[in-house]
Amino acid sequence: MPGAGQGTSLYLVAQGGQSAANKAAGNNPAIGLITVLGSKAPATVTINEMTTIAAVWTHNQFINGTAIKGQPLQLKIAAGNVPSFVDLQTGGWGGTIQDPLNSGQTPTMANFATLASVLGACVTQVRPDACQTVFRAAQGHTGAAPTDTLTAAQAIARAPWYQPERTFKALEALYPVPAGKNLRQVPYMPYLQVAPSAWVLPLKFDGGGYRAGGKAMFDAEGNLWVGNNFTIGWQASDALWQGNASKFDPNGKPLSPITTGFTGGGMQGGTFGAAIDLKGNVWLSSYGSKSITVFDNNGKPLTPPNGINLDGRLGLMQGIIMAPNGDMWALGLSKRQLLHFPKGDWNKGRIVCEGDSAEPCKSFTAPFHLAIDQQDRIWVSDSSFHVIRFPTSDPSQAQKIEVKSNNSGLNIDSQGNVWVTNRFGPGLLGMAHMVDMALHLKTKGVLSASDYLTKQMSEQKGGSGSVTVLRPDGTQLPGSPFKGGGLPGPWAVVVDGNDNVWVSNFAMASSPIVQLCGVRTENCPPGFKTGDQISPPGGYVGGGLQLQTDIAVGPAGDVWAINNWQDIDSCYPGASEALSTRCGGQGVVIFFGMAKPVRAPQIGPAKPF
């Protein structure tokens, strides 16, 4: 089979005919199978139920019936994800889904094989009403009934949260355990023993020096860059920030050095500060070096060995953004600083204000993250009960807006509304209370207010946190703050191309990610209103998730969750020697095709393709 031209993705569709596994059943018009090959086809190709599941889930944002349409970068990314699930030549398992991170550590293989077996029941007609059983189970919330196995797969993938138990019950009905036997006679194993909360197929990727990722950003080619709190092999703790930078290609392959990641230029202990400038250079802030580092697209440090530290005047650095006009803005948390780099020139960078010297810094408590709206106003999450807003033309004209809960992440939708994550439950009543409590906890090995906060949040349960939505004028949207069982400790928030909202959580050993209905409710399922949780009551889980900081939506609609911490007790003095290197989170987790894609890099509010 010849290769395709640049920007083209080859795919094959099989419709109708006889199943090779049950030729006696005759012609079956309900068969619909697909495989996606990308720009270059292998010498031999297999098309079956497994290739169909892999193709549909990775191309969820681009497939409609038998047609796949998208931008060249999007299709390249989506096609590149297929081999992670399935071998294109044999139709068997791909490499990533059965590697040690995914096979025995997550339910993704069982989710995948269960779906493939359910489709297979119709393809092979295991009983006369098999196809009708499959189509009833797959029917979406809009009421449209599938007509073949390909459209059935698409119906499930488009609303993985909608009554997932129906497809599981179809497996039980179509493949009953034979008398005297132990296993169902399914074509694909392993299969699920209990119904999933949603038909999601996340995969976990690690390497490239990744450990305890903070803020993440996609570049123009869809590669993900992230600054790491820690470095692999260290007995890292919350007091020892020495991490470097990691880079993953759009399909999860690490591109940075395996153990160290990208080093130099002052990089030491990445935080929640990451941005990509108009030249494609990557800016990352640090705690360990109290500086900002800039790498080129190949990971070469461009800044001096001590980074951008403005003659040693910087404190612990956090959020960084690039404005649409090319200016760079950054926040210093410990010294309550605001930095400005005109046109992204770090040689002309300056401290706009610090501490009580002037606004907006006088209003800062512990400035954490920032975003710029359509009116060239910067909004700052303040790790307090307020957010701060100021015009870029005159930062001294700052306004303090109440959100009534301790906040961390924020982002802005296409209508100029500001979504703010409130990390802590009502039991944590403010910074003064946190400091007082920390003084009482020194005897337990918790040494600071920050440690106390982290420990408390890691033990929160579903519904402890919330999300506040502010209109462009600063007033709260009706119903805000929004709560839900999938928000135990919301940390970061991003907006997808449909203006729906995705939230990460830093809480519990395996935190969920959450999808909320945004302000354009026409892009939500019928009956949903702004702030409603689209994802299952406990959020999307799926396996591989730890305590997360950031969450990101890529050009192909893949949702990346950034694991930050994994073993809380290993992060403080007195940790078990055997577990002393397990503080930092392991790997990124990709949920494929879940969100409406956005353009990368993101500069200003998210923009759809």
Q: What does the pLDDT look like over 90-144, one tens digit per residue?
A: 999 999 999 999 998 999 999 999 999 999 999 999 999 999 999 999 999 887 8
Q: Which residue has the higher pLDDT, 330 or 24?
A: 330
Contact 341, 328 (CB under 8 A): yes
pLDDT of residue 6: 64
Q: What is the pLDDT of residues 289-317, one digit of tens each?
A: 999 999 999 999 999 999 999 999 999 99
Residue 430: per-residue pLDDT: 44
Query: Which residues are 213's β-sheet partners?
Result: 228
Q: What is the mean pLDDT of the chain?
A: 93
HEC secondary structure over 28-63: CCCCEEEEEEECCCCCCCCCCHHHHHHHHHHCCCCE
**Residue range 39-62, pLDDT digits in tens:** 999 999 999 999 999 999 999 999
Binned at pLDDT 50, 70 and 90, residue 237 comes out as: confident
Determine the Cα–Cα distance for residues 111 and 344; give it in Å rounded to an integer: 46
Confidence of residue 427 (pLDDT cuts 50, 70, 90): very low
Name the 3-class secondary structure at 568: helix
Is pLDDT of 460 > 90?
no
- Name the pLDDT band for 429 (thresholds 50, 70, 90): very low
DSSP string, 60-113: TTTEETTEE---HHHHHHHHHHHHHHB-TTTSSB-TTTTSTTTTTTSSHHHHHH
Tokens for 193, please give them: 């023993």
pLDDT-derived band at 426 (thresholds 50, 70, 90) equals: low
Fill in the DSSP letter of residue 369: E
C-alpha–C-alpha distance, residues 360 and 392, integer Å: 11
Report which of 527, 519, 525, 520 is spatially closest to residue 480, judged by C-alpha positions: 519
- 177/464: higher pLDDT: 177
**pLDDT above 50 for 431:** no
Indicate the domain borders of the chain: 10-174, 203-591
Backbone angles phi, psi at 108, to 5 degrees: -60, -40
Q: Is the pLDDT of residue 25 over 90?
A: no
Which residue in 525, 518, 528, 491 sits closest to 605, CA to CA? 518
Q: How confident is the model at residue 450 (pLDDT cuts 50, 70, 90)?
A: low
**Per-residue pLDDT tens for 183-195?**
999 999 999 999 9
CATH superfamily of 203-591: TolB, C-terminal domain (2.120.10.30)
Count of beta carbons in the 10 Å neighbourhood of residue 2: 7
Q: CA 518, CA 525: separation in Å to the nearest integer? A: 11
At 71, list the tokens: 């931008």
pLDDT exceeds cutoff 60 at 374: yes
d(CA 522, CA 376): 27
Q: Mean of the pLDDT values across residues 219-242?
A: 92
Residue 574 has a pLDDT of 81
